[in-house]
Structure 1
Amino acid sequence: MSKSVKVLIIFMSTIIIALAAGLYFFFSKGANEVDTEPTADEIVESSVEIPEITTNLLNGDFVRIAFMIQTDSKKAKEELEKRNFQVKNVIIKNLSSLEAKDLEGNEGKVQLEKKLKESLNQYIENGEIVQVYITSSIVQ
């Protein structure tokens, strides 16, 4: 075998080994990064409590309601706390377009949580709102 053939074989072998190692690390990294649900402590650390709000509904009834809003990071939590007045404004506006029957049962509350999440995410610049939880609710 000539010297140039040996050099070519060594060069090609090196490239194949490097490629195999790169593929191994690429795919093994993805397998190890499994999305895990946040712990209760992590949820509390990234959540903002909205104390009870009392407001009129569309049909003349009123609601007393409180929320816990979970963000994806402490930075988003801090921003949400600073925007507290906007959060309350969005909640009141959304509630004022509902009737008492809209808040009845599980489905109505889930729809309100989703709507508030979408509305509030428009204000957040550093992160996002993961979930809105109703923590108390009285409709009269």
Structure 2
Amino acid sequence: MFKNKLVNIMIILLVSLTLIGVVTLVLINYLSKDEAASGEPTIDEIIAHSYDTPELTTMLLSNEFAKVQFKIHVDNRRALSEISKRDFQIENIIIRELAGMKSTELSGSEGITDLETQLKFKINELMTEGMVVDIYTRRLIIQ
């Protein structure tokens, strides 16, 4: 290649190190995507990134009382910190949503799913540091 052996050795070393670096990066990216693509978060991750609302009692549109409690699963620790600071706003959203509903709208799994979806949408509008992944109903008592 070149007449100087030192230049040849340096070029061979640089090319070898570059190839080793590229292969390492490809392997790291491939392995990290497998972990992320494994699907649903584990139960430990859900618990670590969840906020429990206090038990709330409010009047429904049909003049009945509803006692509710939710577990709000967020996507990261900063979102968890933000949602715990916004607890009063979260409670306000829950009370307002329930105040506009009748007890018949909350009956059955479809009614509960609709309520969880509405709450998730409204809370996500409020969030700046992350987002709500899911909302789980822990208690729902209608009297």
| TM-score (normalizing by structure 2) | 0.76
In the alignment, which of 47, 52, 55 is matched to residue 50 of structure 2?
47
Aligned to 1:98: 101
Shift of residue 36, structure 1, vs aligned partner: 2.7
State the partner residue of 1:135: 138
1:62 matched to 2:30? The reply is no
Matches within 5 A, 1:1-140: 25=26, 29=30, 32=34, 33-140=36-143
Per-residue deviation, 1:50: 0.4
Structure 1 unaligned residues grouped into runs of 5+:
1-17
Distance 1:125 1:58, change over 3 A: same
- The separation in 2 between residues aligned to 1:84 and 1:61, in whole angstroms, is 25
State how far apart, in whole Å, the 2-side matches of 1:40 and 1:110 are. Answer: 20
With over 3 angstroms needed to count, the CA separation of the structure-2 counterparts of 1:34 and 1:92, relative to structure 1, is same
What is the rounded CA distance, in whole Å, between the counterparts of 1:43 and 1:75 in structure 2? 14
Q: Equivalents in 1 of 2:39, 2:71: separation in Å?
A: 21
Match of 1:10 in 2: none
CA apart distance, 1:35: 4.2
Q: Residue 107 of structure 1: CA displacement?
A: 0.2
Displacement after TM superposition at 1:105 (Å) = 0.5
Shift of 1:117: 0.1
Rounded to whole Å, the distance in 1 between the matches of 2:112 and 2:134 is 13
Unaligned runs of 5+ in 2: 1-18
Deviates more, 1:35-44 or 1:93-102: 35-44
Q: Tell me the number of residue pairs that the alignment of Structure 1 and Structure 2 aligns.
A: 119
Taking structure 1 as the reference length, what is the TM-score of the superposition? 0.78
How big is the alpha-carbon RMSD for the aligned residues of Structure 1 and Structure 2? Answer: 2.0
